[in-house]
Amino acid sequence: MSATTPVPAPDATRVAVIGLGAMGLPMALHLAGAFPVTAFDPAAERLDAATGRGIRPAATPAAAAAEADVVLLAVRDQAQLEQALFGTDRESGADGVAASLPAGGVVIITSTIGAEPLRAMAGRLGERGLLVVDAPISGGPVRAGAGDLLIVVGATNDALTLARPVLDRLASTLTIVGSRVGDGQILKTINQLLAGVHIAAAAEAIALARGLGVDPEVVVSALADGAAGSFMFSDRGPRMVEAYRGHSEVKSRLDIFVKDMAIVADAAAAVHVPTPLAAAAQQLYLIAERQGLGAEDDSRVVTVLSPA
Query: Residue numbers of the site for a copy of itself (CB under 8 A)?
Result: 115, 138, 150, 152, 173, 175, 177-178, 183, 186-187, 189-195, 197-198, 200-202, 204-205, 207-214, 218-219, 222-223, 226-233, 235, 264, 267-268, 271-281, 283-284, 305-306
183 closest CA partner among 272, 119, 93: 119
Nearer to a copy of itself, 12 or 176 (CB): 176
Pairing of strands 70-73, 37-40: unpaired
CB 46 within 8 A of CB 162: no
188 closest CA partner among 142, 157, 159, 150: 150
Structure letter (DSSP) for residue 15: E
Nearer to a copy of itself, 12 or 280 (CB): 280
Selecting among 46, 76, 188, 198, the annotated active-site residue is: 188
Nearer to a copy of itself, 122 or 305 (CB): 305
CB burial string 242-269: b at 16+ within 10 A, e below: ebeeeeeeeebbbbbbbbbbebbbebbe
CB of 27 to a copy of itself, least distance (A): 18
188 labelled catalytic: yes
CB of 5 to a copy of itself, least distance (A): 34
CB of 107 to a copy of itself, least distance (A): 22
CB of 256 to a copy of itself, least distance (A): 12
Largest pairwise CA distance in the chain: 65
Nearer to a copy of itself, 15 or 113 (CB): 113
CA 271/CA 248 separation, integer angstroms? 38
Cβ burial of 290 (10 Å; 0-12, 13-18, 19+) is: exposed
CB of 190 to a copy of itself, least distance (A): 5
Nearer to a copy of itself, 21 or 229 (CB): 229
Give the active site residues.
188
